[in-house]
Amino acid sequence: MTSRLARTTQGALRLAVDWRFWLGVAVPVFAILYTVHDVDLSQVASHIADANPWLVLAMVPLHIAGLWLRALRWRWLARSLTEKPLPLRPLFRATALGFMAINVLPFRLGELARPWLLGRETEVRGSAALGTLVLERAIDFTAVSVMGGVLLFAHTKLMPPWVRSGALVFLGFTFIPLGAIAALRLNEAGTLALIAGLLRPFPEVLRARIMGLVTEVCRGLAGLRGFEATAQVVFQTIVLWCVVLPAPFLLGLLAFPIDLAPRALALATYTTNIFVALAIAAPSAPGFFGVFHFACKESLRLFGVPREIAVAYGTVVHMTYWLPVTLLGLWVAAQTGARFADMIAPGLGKARSDDHR
């Protein structure tokens, strides 16, 4: 008990003196202040109370379905780590625990919980599982880039000049992760040598960190050998980003008095989804508080939605995600005996994951 308390205390002290922690706190605080500075909060509360409760409740299973689909896709990404496909249950439990930890820990430290729990419950090492999650992030970034670039470029008439001018740049960034993944698949050794050469002018610490991430991506790519695995990952990514993740944003638009034509309604749904995805990509405070609401307000402003309704909308959509996902993850933590101090401990996949095998 004493050693456990000491580890928890040491972890808290490390966070207290870490500048990244305070930066992660400052970003959402600023986002909240900026989001509500010109908003009548009493009207926001009134709009929340008037929202269609059935449509609000319908968002909850969609958020859970997103976790399940991520776990299913992770199963294919992790095919190279074991002789047989991993069972879906530990993958889903690890996914739920990871997103709960992201909701309650700062600076996206909860990302480490997913490979940590998978390492405890299966024969997979946590460090190897981490490589598949790095690849997952690259795939999701590619999906967001493709959707965002195509969406903004195809509907420039509804967008302000600053959005139209940025659409081409945003679409151009799409080809960076796509090109890197394709190059690593075709010629891994040559691509690694090229990346190492391009990084030579940079400091050694930065070079080592980038090459470490690239190496982890290579581990994950090993699971995509063959047409079936690649096709499954591509299909599930399309379903995730084109159907499951945007669906709660659409239900939110229908739950509030937001009068948009069908085409504008679809555009607003995907635009809000992309804005939120970009806003929460950067490490910040637990649960994306502030940045989520800011993204909803700014995206809906493009469609003439009043500020108070936009903030109410962002609050409801966010809570239908944050609350059930957090409760589900806490239930998993209680079932597995997971502790936050262990999830974010150094040496992921080396000591503690092996001890529980």
**For residue 140, how far is the Cα from the chain centroid?**
8
From CA 91, how far away is CA 74, in angstroms rounded?
7
Tokens representing 125 are 């090492």
pTM listed for this prediction: 0.79
* More confidently predicted of 161 and 246: 246
> What is the number of alpha carbons within 13 Å of residue 37 lying toward its C-beta?
8
What is the pLDDT confidence band of residue 249, given thresholds at 50, 70 and 90? very high
Tokens representing 270 are 């995907």
The DSSP code sequence of 176-204 is: HHHHHHHHHHH-HHHHHHHHHHHTTTS-H
Instruction: List pLDDT tens digits, range 137-151.
Output: 878 888 887 887 777
How many H-runs (helices) and E-runs (strands) does the chain carry? 17, 0
Q: What is the pLDDT of residue 212?
A: 75
Instruction: List pLDDT tens digits, range 34-93.
Output: 677 777 889 989 999 999 999 999 999 999 999 999 999 999 888 777 778 888 999 999
- The DSSP symbol for 304 reads T
* pLDDT exceeds 80 at position 332: yes
From CA 13, how far away is CA 16, in angstroms rounded?
5
Q: What is the pLDDT of residue 268?
A: 92
How many Å from the N-terminal Cα to the C-terminal Cα in the chain? 22
Assign 14 to helix, strand or coil. Answer: helix
Looking at the chain, how many residues does it have? Answer: 357
pLDDT (mean) for 117-131: 76
Which among 272, 250, 270 is positioned nearest to 151, based on CA atoms? 270
* pLDDT exceeds 70 at position 247: yes
